[in-house]
Structure 1
Amino acid sequence: MTLVRSILFTVAFYLVTTVFLIAGLPALATRRSVVWLAQTWGRVTLRLLEAIVGLRVEFRGLEHRPAGAVLVAAKHQSALETLALVTVLDDFTYILKRELMWLPLFGWYLARSEMVAIDRSKGSRALALMNDEAAAAMADGRRLIIFPEGTRRAPGAAPAYKYGVVHMYDRLGVPCLPVALNTGMFWGRRRLTYRPGNAVIEFLPPIPPGLPRDTFFATLQERIETASDVLMREAGWTGAARDAVQAPQT
């Protein structure tokens, strides 16, 4: 039954996404319209997920979201948090690979919404350019979402945080909002199989700006990994506790 429900959701998801991409073309007139469209698409997708699969997304710690510009640093286990976070963060901006801008239709929306794109072909220069674009987004008071590990990690995998989040935190001078989750327990990284249950995305107390770099790096990892382990155990994970803090690697 899980497989059947997963197939039905996958078909419904791509049909709905196609409708949004085509019917939403007038939204390309303004960045705000595209952001609103993305939030609506995310909410519809979450409803489909609950109705078809029986997978509900619960948000905790919403009271920890600060007003104004903030750097949102989230654990990354699946595609689920990518679309779920936009439903509870107003005026969001993602940091993403520039290659995504080249996708037909979808890339148009990314470009119009002024996402911060990383051009990896520029090597070390890419980090400076990314920080410049991020600073411009902060000047507009946006919620800048970054996945500090850079890619999805399976539940229980050793942490793999990149030091780029530290450079960004240091440059931007805004609070950092850590986000823990257990979504990978229900929505896998490389398979289209979804489990029913209660996936949790939890906003943790913000880390204030101005901390020393290494202190921030250790604090961010410790908070996200410790809280994510708790949420995964809540969902049935039986792994042992891990060393959540890496040494800085510049």
Structure 2
Amino acid sequence: MAVIRSFLFNILAFALTVAMGIGAFPIRWFARGQALAYAKLWSQLMIRLFSTVCGVQVQISGQERLAKLNGPFLIASQHQSAFDTLIWMLLVPRPSYVMKGELRRIPLLGPMLILAGMMPIERADGAKALRALLQETEKAAQAGKQIIIFPEGTRTAPGEHVPLKPGIAAMAAHTSLPVVPVATNSGRFWGRNAFFKRSGVLHVVIGEPLAPAGRKVMLPQIEAAWRTLEKQIS
């Protein structure tokens, strides 16, 4: 059954993405202000498809903590799955993801990511990339957006711990925005580059906001918050 569900989901997800990518041309040409709403719709349909076809129940914990924050803030989320790049489109009003620069060159999808207000960063550019990240973060914060970053820098397996990239600490120090730590077990159900999808309860656990701090303080605080939040995931 898992094989059939996985095959069906992958086919339908691909078809949906292509169809909406083609359908985005009128928005790109005539209604650019609707790009974020269109991206949110795509994310909603993808998650609904994932839940229905693959038998996954998505459980969000701690969402009331987001409701207490007004305006812009930073979200430091664990990154185990493509699911993590979808869910925040639905959980905050004005999401802006920090993403790899090469994603903007994907046909159909890339141009919409830019129009929707995402933040492409060429990570290979070193110090130049950090300056660009801080400039984009400042612009997003001034626009009142909620900025999502995956401090691990890449998708990791559930339970895998890797050194965090310093960008999140620089962003927090530069903007003085609070940092919301988030843990998940999404990789158990939609693994990295995995054809097979598994059924079960997928958890997204949102922690208490952390005050902005320097790298030596911020990164250990995020890691400690993640370990605490992981205990809430069965």
Q: Shorter-chain TM-score category?
A: over 0.9
Distance 1:173 1:27, change over 3 A: same
Q: Partner of 1:206 in structure 2?
A: 209
- For residues 52-111 of structure 1, give each alpha carbon's deviation from its aligned partner in whole angstroms, at most 9, with x where no partner exists: 111121111111111200111100011111111211111111111111111111111012
SS in 1 for 2:211: coil
CA distance in 2, matches of 1:31, 1:227: 38
SS in 2 for 1:12: helix
**Aligned AA for 1:96?**
M
Q: Runs of 4+ in structure 1 displaced over 3 angstroms? A: 29-32
CA distance in 2, matches of 1:155, 1:76: 9
- Count of residue pairs brought into register by the alignment: 231
Distance 1:31 1:95, change over 3 A: farther
- TM-score w.r.t. the length of structure 2 is 0.93
- For residues 100-154 of structure 1, give each alpha carbon's deviation from its aligned partner in whole angstroms, at most 9, with x where no partner exists: 1111111110121232111234322110111111111100010110000100011
Q: Partner of 1:129 in structure 2?
A: 132
SS in 2 for 1:191: coil
Return the match for 1:227 from 223, 226, 229: 229
Return the match for 2:141 from 127, 135, 138: 138
Q: Partner of 2:193 in structure 1?
A: 190
Q: CA deviation at 1:32?
A: 4.2
Native 8 Å contact 1:57 1:199 kept in 2? yes
Native 8 Å contact 1:32 1:91 kept in 2? no
Corresponding position: 1:105 with 2:108: yes
Native 8 Å contact 2:57 2:201 kept in 1? yes
Further displaced range: 27-36 or 1-10? 27-36
- For residues 33-52 of structure 1, give each alpha carbon's deviation from its aligned partner in whole angstroms, at most 9, with x where no partner exists: 11111111111112111221
CA distance in 2, matches of 1:123, 1:219: 24
Q: Partner of 2:60 in structure 1?
A: 59
Q: CA RMSD in A?
A: 1.5
Identity %: 32
Corresponding position: 1:25 with 2:25: yes
